[in-house]
Structure 1
Amino acid sequence: MSCCDDDCNPCGGYQTTTTYPVYPPAPAYITPAPAPAPAYFPPPPPPMAYAPPPVVVTETHHHHDHHHHGFFHELGHQLHDLGHRIAHPHHHHC
């Protein structure tokens, strides 16, 4: 018997062909998308705007306590004072 025979291999012995059942690949399950974050109504308030450190000025109408009012509150006073200075450009305070 030569090694050209169907049941012979060069290393001796007989080749046996074993067939295994082929299973279809497992279906690819779609992972659900994460739920979106809940919407808050009304939206959370923005962080508080703090007043900058007080600036020393020599000419002012009133004394403003910069520690007890917010930045925009003080800005309103400054715009109010500026309006008076524009309306009375020659009225200086010492």
Structure 2
Amino acid sequence: MKTHLLFISGPEIFVIILIVVMLFGAKRIPEIARGLGKGMRQIKDATNDIKNEINETAKNQGIDTEFAKDIKKSVEDVKDNIDDFTGPIKRSL
């Protein structure tokens, strides 16, 4: 089974890497990767800050946020039940 990352196959990834090396040079690639890593980290931190702010505001206004956890647990239970039901069918195929 072949897996694709963002619909890109192995040879296409190789060509992209080759182009990046040709454009920026091998010495600058670690610097670029560090910059991308820092940027992704800042985005993740900002997302977490927004989530925390929303939760704090909801708690301060007396809004119950536990319903989302209850819904998630119910969905997981349904998934488990479906897996239990379809497991024998999948194995027989």
| Higher RCO (C-alpha 8 Å, min separation 6) | 1
- Per residue, is there more helix in 1 or in 2? 2
The alignment's TM-score, normalised by the length of structure 2, stands at 0.25
Larger Rg: 1
